[in-house]
C-alpha cells in the first residue's frame, strides 16, 4: 500500500500543509485530513458523507460504477450461487470461509440460541395490535440488554462472540413474535431441528392446531435474499450502529439504533414502499403518469427501488433478484404474477428515459425483493423486518471490527454553525 502525498495551500496566507493519501486494497485512495484542522484551523464540510470514508474496514467492497459487490473479497454472485446465509454470516464476521467443523460449530451455536426469555415475549402484549413491526423490533432488541447483561462486556472477545450468536439466533424469533402479535395468533416457538430460514418460516406461518410443512422453495428463496442483504459497507444503518457503538454502549442498543435507521423509506423501508407503489400504479397504462411524477421537481414522489448513493450502474443484487423472481415464481406456480410483470415494464420504461439515464438511476436491491417476499407470503409490513434480520449479520461484523480495533474513537462529527452570534438573554418585557 503506497502512500501518496497532496499539498493543501491557503491562498490568502500562503500556508501549506501536506496531506497523505492512503491506498486501500481496492477502490479510490482516501485523503487523511487530520492536518487540515491542526494546520489551517478549518473543518471539512461534507453533508450526506458524499466524499468521506468514515472508517477503515476489511469487510465489504463496492465498486458503484462497475456494479461490483464483494464480501471479504468474494463476489456476491458466487456466494449467492454456492453458499448459504449462515456460511456468509460466518464469513462476514470472521473474515474467512469456515472449514466444515467451524461451520458446524457456528450453525449449532446459532440454532441453540433461538429461544428468547419468556419475559421478553410478554413485551409484545404492551404493543398495539397494529403497531409497525419495525417499532416492535427496535424496542424489543434494545430491551435485550436487560436480559442478557451477562455478556455485554464489549472488551471481552468471548462476550462479543456470545452476543453475536444471540442476536443472529434470536432476531427471527423476535420478528416472528411481532408478526404473530399483529395477527392475533399464538406465538410459535423456534424449532432447532430446522435450518435458519425454515425455522423463521415455521415460526411465522405454523399454528398449534394443524401441521405446517415449510416449502423448501420459499426457504431457499429467503436464504438467497438474506445473503444479498447481509452487508453493504458503510450504509446509513451500519454507520448508525458504528456511531452508537463507538460510545461504548451495549451492542443490543447499537443494533436497535441500526434497526431504526434502516426503517426509513430511503433505506430499508424502500422494499415495503416498492410494493405499495406498484399497487398504486396498478396497470402498465399508468406507468408514464408515475414516471412523469417521479421526474417532476414539484412532486415528492420518487420511483421507489430506483437509484442508489453508491451504484451508478446496475446494482448486482437487483440483477440476481430479478433472475431469481423468474425461477421462484415459476417454482411456486405463480409465473403470471401481475406485479412482477408491472415491475419489469416499469424498469424497461425508466431505463429508456433520459432523466434516469442522465442520473444513472437503476433498479436497486429493493425493486424486486418485495415481489419474492410477497410470493412466499411475507406480508408487506414485514419486508423491512426481513431486511433487518439479514443486515443484523453485517451490523455485527462492523460492530465487532470497530470494537476490536485498539485505535477506536468515539464518532463525533463537527459542524458549520449558521445560528445566531453570541447574544445576551432578553428579559420577557424586552422581547419584541
Of 149, 140, 133, residue with least CA distance to 119: 140
Sites for ligand CMC among residues 323-382 (CB under 6 A): 359, 361, 364-366
In this chain, which stretch among 9-17, 127-135, 153-161, 304-312 interacts with ligand CMC, using CB under 6 A?
A: 304-312
Q: What is the 3-state secondary structure (H, E, C) of 358-379?
A: HCCCCECHHHHHHHHHHHCCCC
Closest CB to ligand CMC among 195 and 233? 233
Considering 113, 181, 308, 398, which one is annotated as catalytic? Answer: 308
Q: Whole-angstrom Cα distance, residue 120 to residue 103? A: 29
Reading the block at residue 30, the C-alpha cell is 482516501
- Whether 326 is catalytic is no
Q: Which listed residue (294, 321, 371, 396) binds ligand CMC by CB under 6 A?
A: 294
Residue from 376, 316, 318 nearest 347 by CA: 318
Q: In the annotation, is 267 catalytic? A: yes
- Binding part of the chain for ligand CMC, among 88-96, 253-261, 302-310, 340-348 by CB under 6 A, reads 302-310
Tell which one of 139, 190, 245, 305 touches ligand CMC (CB under 6 A).
305
The string of DSSP letters for 208-253 reads: TTB-----HHHHHHHHHHHHHHS--TT-HHHHHHHHHHTTT--HHH
Site residues for ligand CMC, 103-122, by CB under 6 A, read none
Identify the residue among 172, 190, 307, 394 touching ligand CMC (CB under 6 A): 307
* Closest to 411 measured CA to CA, from 252, 257, 231: 257
Distance CA 167, CA 173 (A): 10
> Is there a catalytic annotation at residue 308?
yes
Angle at 41 between CA 40 and CA 44, to 5 degrees: 90
- When CB distances to ligand CMC are compared, the closest residue is 307
Candidate list 40, 309, 312, 345; residue touching ligand CMC; CB under 6 A = 309
x/- letters, 245..274, toward ligand CMC (CB under 6 A) = ---------------------xxx-x----
**Count of residues near ligand CMC by CB under 6 A:** 20
Is residue 304 part of the contact set for ligand CMC (CB under 6 A)? yes
Span of 25-33, 76-84, 129-137, 301-309 interacting with ligand CMC by CB under 6 A:
301-309
Taking a C-beta distance cutoff of 8 angstroms, is the pair 311, 362 a contact?
Answer: yes
Q: Least distance to ligand CMC from the beta carbon of 51, Å?
A: 12
Among 234, 235, 240, 369, binds ligand CMC (CB under 6 A): 235
**Is the distance from CB of 28 to CB of 61 less than 8 angstroms?**
no
Strands laid side by side in the 60-63 sheet: 60-63, 68-71, 74-75
Catalytic positions: 267, 308, 366
> Interface with ligand CMC by CB under 6 A: which residues?
232, 235, 266-268, 270, 294, 302-309, 359, 361, 364-366
Amino acid at each position: 500500500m503506497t502512500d501518496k502525498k497532496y499539498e493543501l495551500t491557503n491562498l490568502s496566507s500562503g500556508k501549506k500543509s501536506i496531506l497523505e493519501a492512503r491506498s486501500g486494497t481496492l477502490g479510490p485512495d482516501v485523503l487523511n485530513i487530520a492536518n487540515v484542522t491542526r494546520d489551517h484551523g478549518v473543518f471539512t464540510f461534507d453533508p450526506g458523507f458524499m466524499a468521506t470514508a468514515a472508517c477503515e474496514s476489511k469487510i465489504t467492497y463496492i465498486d458503484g460504477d462497475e456494479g461490483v459487490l464483494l464480501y471479504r473479497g468474494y463476489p456476491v454472485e458466487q456466494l449467492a450461487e454456492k453458499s448459504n446465509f449462515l456460511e456468509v454470516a460466518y464469513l462476514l464476521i470472521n473474515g474467512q470461509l469456515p472449514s466444515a467443523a467451524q461451520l458446524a460449530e457456528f450453525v449449532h451455536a446459532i440454532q441453540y440460541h433461538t429461544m428468547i426469555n419468556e419475559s421478553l415475549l410478554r413485551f409484545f402484549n404492551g404493543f398495539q395490535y397494529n403497531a409497525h413491526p419495525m417499532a416492535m423490533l427496535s424496542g424489543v432488541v434494545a430491551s435485550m440488554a436487560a436480559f442478557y447483561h451477562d455478556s455485554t462486556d464489549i472488551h471481552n472477545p468471548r462476550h462479543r462472540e456470545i452476543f453475536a450468536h444471540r442476536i443472529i439466533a434470536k432476531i427471527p424469533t423476535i420478528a416472528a413474535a411481532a408478526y404473530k402479535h399483529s395477527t392475533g395468533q399464538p406465538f410459535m416457538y423456534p424449532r432447532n431441528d430446522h435450518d435458519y430460514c425454515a425455522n423463521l418460516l415455521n415460526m411465522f406461518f405454523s399454528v398449534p392446531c394443524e401441521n405446517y410443512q415449510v416449502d423448501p422453495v420459499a426457504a431457499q428463496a429467503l436464504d438467497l435474499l438474506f445473503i444479498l442483504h447481509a452487508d453493504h459497507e458503510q450504509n446509513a444503518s451500519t454507520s448508525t450502529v458504528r456511531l452508537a457503538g463507538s460510545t461504548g454502549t451495549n451492542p443490543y442498543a447499537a443494533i436497535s439504533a441500526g434497526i431504526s435507521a434502516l426503517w426509513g423509506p430511503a433505506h430499508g423501508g424502500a422494499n415495503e414502499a416498492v410494493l405499495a407503489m406498484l399497487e398504486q400504479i396498478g396497470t402498465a397504462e399508468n406507468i408514464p403518469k408515475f414516471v412523469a411524477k417521479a421526474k417532476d421537481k414539484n412532486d415528492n414522489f420518487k420511483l421507489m427501488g430506483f437509484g442508489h448513493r453508491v451504484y451508478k450502474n446496475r446494482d448486482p443484487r437487483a440483477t440476481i433478484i430479478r433472475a431469481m423472481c423468474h425461477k421462484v415464481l415459476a417454482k411456486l406456480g405463480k409465473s403470471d404474477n401481475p406485479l412482477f410483470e408491472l415491475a419489469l415494464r416499469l424498469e424497461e420504461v425508466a431505463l429508456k428515459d433520459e432523466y434516469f439515464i442522465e442520473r444513472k438511476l437503476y433498479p436497486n436491491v429493493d425493486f424486486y425483493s418485495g415481489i419474492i417476499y410477497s410470493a412466499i407470503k411475507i406480508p408487506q409490513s414485514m419486508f423491512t423486518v426481513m431486511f433487518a434480520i439479514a443486515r443484523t449479520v453485517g451490523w455485527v461484523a462492523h460492530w465487532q471490527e470497530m470494537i476490536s480495533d485498539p485505535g477506536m474513537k468515539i464518532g463525533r462529527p463537527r459542524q458549520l454553525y449558521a445560528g445566531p452570534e453570541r447574544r445576551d438573554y432578553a428579559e420577557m418585557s424586552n422581547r419584541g
